[in-house]
Structure 1
């Protein structure tokens, strides 16, 4: 049997299925249309940037390696005054 064309030569991709609010999806798709882009393109762009910004260990991008990790907010501490002895 013959092989099917694999599109633009990038090979077979993968899908990520997510559940989102219908109104939020419609607003996103509408905004993407207004900006002459697609929802898929913008999600892929976000994912590439997110991975580059947070890459660790093997496969770490050079840009991410040079940037210091952002400090997380310290945990809340008990600020109550010590008991008064009397």
Structure 2
């Protein structure tokens, strides 16, 4: 039986909505925040980048935040790489 894939819609700068598949959601102890890694549903998985966002959930509402701090980004990227390596084992 296929696993349910979580999808979210993220508007771009022009207001166009793009659908993304949520690859991972995870907490990072060092920052005390939650993050998700997403990839465009309609894209080419061989070419498209994986996007990372910090997120907060409030009931049914989901707020996404761009990770602008370099140090925070390094921590999130390192955590994501660890998750990928653990999954491949």
Bin the TM-score by the shorter chain: under 0.3
Structure with larger Rg: 1
Give 1 or 2: higher strand fraction: 2
Report the structure, 1 or 2, having the larger helix content: 1
The answer to which structure, 1 or 2, has the higher relative contact order (CA under 8 A, 6+ apart) is: 2
Q: TM-score, normalised by structure 2?
A: 0.27
